[in-house]
Amino acid sequence: MRWFALLLLLVVSSSFAFSPPLTNIKVKVVDESGVPVSDARVGATYYGAIDFDSDVEITDEEGVATVSGRSVYAVPFSVSKPGYYPGGKKVMPWEAVNGKEVFRDREVTIMLREKRNPIPLYAIKYSGEIPVAEKWIGFDLQKADWVSPYGNGVIGDFLFRYEGAFRNIDDAYGELRVRFSNEDDGAKTIKYIYPDSLFKVPYEAPVLGYDIKEKLWKQGFGLKRAVKPSRIKKYFFRIRTTQDEDGNVGNALYGKMYGDVRFSLRSVRGGVSRVEFTYYLNSVENDRNLEFALGQSLFGDLGNDNQVREP
């Protein structure tokens, strides 16, 4: 047993004694037009086997800063400057070459998006229960509540219908349908995302291109054709739309959603399902600006779980 304990000690000691080589990460910061951003703060954290270190540098007139450190793991770094939304990503300090880890200096470009015109919006991470099952129920986005007689809502912007059953943990399913109440309303998937920025979507919603198609999600234990809600997808939506005399869009309210509507499986037939979804709504007719001023939700003082963390 002594030789085994000694061998184990040597293996553990050698792994902790390994010190990766110094790696330089050259970060170039630009704006959406590709113009270099000077005086931006670039901060990186390097994780070793038993400790960590950080390096902070400021970009020069060419928008370049180089951070250095020793890390065996991916290096997370952030970029920030007043007047811009923060950005960042992770960079591996090594590459796999012929099956071996080769540490090399890296170069990466980060785009900072300008804060143009952030405004207060009806913004909330809503969480609540569908009042009844197997029936279409309206949800008022400006009130964040179900329409009467189930809540204080007045206009059913979204319509929800839930069906499902929960017999036991191995035999349960749920189906949620969501549609618009107005035939001129609709949603549009946001295809271009800015993954390295805190502000990941376009500043404004488009005027056209909305689809009124009903959304359907299915989930359950052992369900062969499940359609689970996504946390990644993002949408623009248009509600309370009216047409002018020429059949064009007259007035409308615009908003956005971060993720699909997520829902739980109800416990008994005829029961309710808990739903969660995050949305932003501009209550000014025909104003398509959806750049949210963080901390200024028009819903007022929301609980910590209901506050949105992204613009």
- Looking at per-residue confidence, does 53 or 280 come out higher? 280
The sign of the torsion formed by the CA atoms of 300, 305, 306, 311 equals positive
Instruction: Judge whether residue 12 has pLDDT over 70.
Output: no
pLDDT digit string (tens) for 17-57? 457 888 899 999 999 999 999 999 999 999 876 678 899 99
Instruction: Judge whether residue 115 has pLDDT over 90.
Output: yes
Which pLDDT does position 174 carry in this prediction?
A: 86
- H or E segment to which residue 113 belongs: strand 113-114
Instruction: Judge whether residue 7 has pLDDT over 50.
Output: no
Which pLDDT does position 14 carry in this prediction?
A: 44
- The amino acid that residue 1 corresponds to is M
Instruction: Judge whether residue 290 has pLDDT over 90.
Output: yes
- The amino acid that residue 199 corresponds to is F
Mean pLDDT along residues 110-120:
98
Instruction: Judge whether residue 222 has pLDDT over 60.
Output: yes
pLDDT digit string (tens) for 148-190? 999 999 999 999 999 887 676 677 788 999 999 999 999 999 9
Which pLDDT does position 204 carry in this prediction?
A: 98
Residue 175 near residue 163 (C-beta atoms within 8 A)? yes
Alpha-carbon gap, residue 256 to 10, rounded angstroms? 56
Q: Which residues contact 72 (CB under 8 A, 6 or more apart)?
A: 18, 20, 47, 48, 49, 93
pLDDT digit string (tens) for 140-150? 999 999 999 99
Please give the CATH number for the structural domain made up of 18-114.
2.60.40.1120
Which pLDDT does position 127 carry in this prediction?
A: 92
Instruction: Judge whether residue 10 has pLDDT over 70.
Output: no
Mean pLDDT of the chain: 88
Residue 296's pLDDT band, with cuts at 50, 70 and 90, is: very high
Residue 305 CB neighbour total at 10 angstroms: 8
pLDDT digit string (tens) for 54-111? 999 999 999 999 999 988 889 999 999 999 999 999 999 888 788 787 888 999 999 9
Instruction: Judge whether residue 271 has pLDDT over 60.
Output: no
Least confident interval from 2-6, 96-100, 119-123: 2-6
Which pLDDT does position 49 carry in this prediction?
A: 62
- Looking at per-residue confidence, does 164 or 234 come out higher? 234
Q: How is the chain split into domains, by residue range?
A: 18-114, 122-306
The sign of the torsion formed by the CA atoms of 273, 274, 280, 285 equals positive
- The amino acid that residue 25 corresponds to is I
Which pLDDT does position 180 carry in this prediction?
A: 97
Alpha-carbon gap, residue 68 to 56, rounded angstroms? 9
Residue 131 Cα distances to 18, 160, 183, angstroms: 59, 10, 24
Token match 């488009």: residue? Answer: 206
Tokens of 70: 């020793």
Mean pLDDT along residues 251-278:
83
CA 114 vs. chain centroid, Å, equals 19
pLDDT digit string (tens) for 235-257? 999 999 999 888 888 999 999 99
Tokens of 245: 């005399």
